[in-house]
């Protein structure tokens, strides 16, 4: 391949300082069809990816082959460890996996047993996603991961049951019952993700200057990054879990819907799938991957960390420090 056509395969193909560029990048690697690619093809893509990165790819390699290898590698392999991820935990499986679980939660919400069961299923799926996308640089112990799973599942169930038996009973509008799953999912995310990334909060996260040089650590950095990731995860499921109940409440009484009650779960699942296909890259693109934090904020709340940064920059700390907010977790 000629030098004029070469790309930096380690960097996104689109400008990540704009929402559109981030959306295109995440749509590129979260395409649900990527979940169907066989392992053999994924490993071939990984091999070409690293050969191209080192400049040792076959001379007949075309640019479109490189772009495809980049897409497959980044969609299926862990960014830290380089290991092949479990297919059910990949971003590309968020649409099929999420629409099946969300469709079931929205369909079976009337009884406490159904609420508890489907919240447990959803949190189990989330636990698998979180484990698959865990930070290899800040590994959790089995005990810590178990605590995060139990805590998130408990929070989801407690929120769902409270919403169902306290708030719903006091409200006159029966449609509120359909919002139980969203309230539970939102609460669980605020418990689960901080617990899964607790080591970053406790120990601090590496921060860099504008050129990417590590100049210290900050405990505020992961707090900001985690809050953005949680917000993105809630935004991802919000349209399906907030708009779909309104849609179903309006169309279920229709005569034609009454004749096909058996198809309601399929209809809901399909609509959720449409929402998620668009919302997965949208939610991931809301905040830049490279997050920044004011040095004045660190000086105010983390004096020891600030002093370390000053020392590492010869007394000339930058106005902002930068860090990776976290990918999907």
What pLDDT, in 10s, does the model give residues 95-121? 899 888 888 887 887 778 888 888 888
How far apart are alpha carbons 266 and 273 in whole angstroms?
A: 10
Question: What pLDDT does 66 receive?
Answer: 94
User: Which residues share a beta bridge with 293?
Assistant: 321
Question: What pLDDT does 71 receive?
Answer: 96
pLDDT band for position 287 (cuts 50, 70, 90) = very high
- How much is the CA Rg of the chain, to the nearest whole Å? 22
pLDDT at residue 2 above 60?
no
Question: What pLDDT does 59 receive?
Answer: 85
Question: What pLDDT does 27 receive?
Answer: 95
pLDDT band for position 324 (cuts 50, 70, 90) = confident
Contact 177, 110 (CB under 8 A): yes
Give the residue-averaged pLDDT of 305-320.
Answer: 94
How far apart are alpha carbons 232 and 287 in whole angstroms?
A: 8
How far apart are alpha carbons 264 and 179 in whole angstroms?
A: 17
The alpha carbon of 161 is separated from its chain's Cα centroid by a whole number of angstroms, namely 26
pLDDT at residue 137 above 80?
no
pTM of the model: 0.85
Contact 310, 44 (CB under 8 A): no
Give the residue-averaged pLDDT of 256-278.
Answer: 86
How far apart are alpha carbons 323 and 138 in whole angstroms?
A: 14
Least confident of 28-42, 130-144, 184-198, 215-229: 130-144
% of residues, the chain, pLDDT over 70: 93
Listed residue (325, 160, 322) closest to 230, CA to CA: 325
């Amino acid at each position: 391949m000629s030098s004029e056509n070469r790309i930096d395969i380690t960097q996104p193909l689109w400008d990540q300082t704009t929402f559109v560029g981030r959306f295109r990048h995440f749509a590129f690697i979260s395409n649900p069809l990527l979940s169907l690619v066989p392992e053999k093809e994924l490993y071939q893509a990984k091999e070409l990816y690293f050969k191209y990165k080192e400049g040792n790819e076959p001379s007949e390699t075309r640019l479109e082959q490189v772009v495809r290898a980049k897409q497959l590698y980044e969609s299926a392999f862990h960014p830290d460890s380089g290991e092949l991820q479990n297919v059910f935990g990949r971003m590309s499986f968020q649409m099929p996996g999420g629409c099946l679980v969300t469709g079931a939660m929205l369909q079976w919400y009337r009884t406490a047993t159904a609420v508890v069961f489907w919240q447990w299923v959803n949190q189990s799926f989330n636990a698998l996603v979180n484990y698959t996308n865990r930070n290899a640089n800040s590994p959790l112990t089995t005990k810590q991961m178990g605590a995060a799973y139990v805590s998130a599942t408990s929070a989801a169930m407690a929120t769902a049951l409270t919403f169902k038996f306290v708030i719903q009973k006091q409200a006159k509008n029966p449609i509120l019952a359909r919002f139980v799953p969203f309230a539970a999912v939102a609460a669980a995310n605020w418990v689960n993700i901080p617990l899964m990334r607790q080591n970053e909060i406790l120990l601090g996260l590496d921060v860099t200057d504008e050129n990417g040089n590590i100049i210290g650590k900050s405990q505020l950095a992961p707090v900001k990054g985690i809050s953005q990731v949680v917000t993105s995860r809630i935004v991802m499921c919000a349209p399906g879990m907030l708009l779909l109940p309104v849609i179903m409440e309006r169309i279920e009484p229709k005569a034609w819907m009454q004749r096909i009650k058996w198809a309601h779960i399929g209809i809901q699942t399909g609509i959720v799938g449409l929402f998620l296909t668009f919302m997965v890259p949208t939610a991931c693109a809301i905040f830049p991957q490279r997050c920044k934090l004011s040095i004045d904020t660190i000086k105010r709340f983390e004096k020891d960390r600030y002093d370390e940064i000053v020392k590492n920059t010869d007394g000339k700390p930058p106005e902002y420090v930068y860090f990776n907010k976290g990918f999907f977790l």
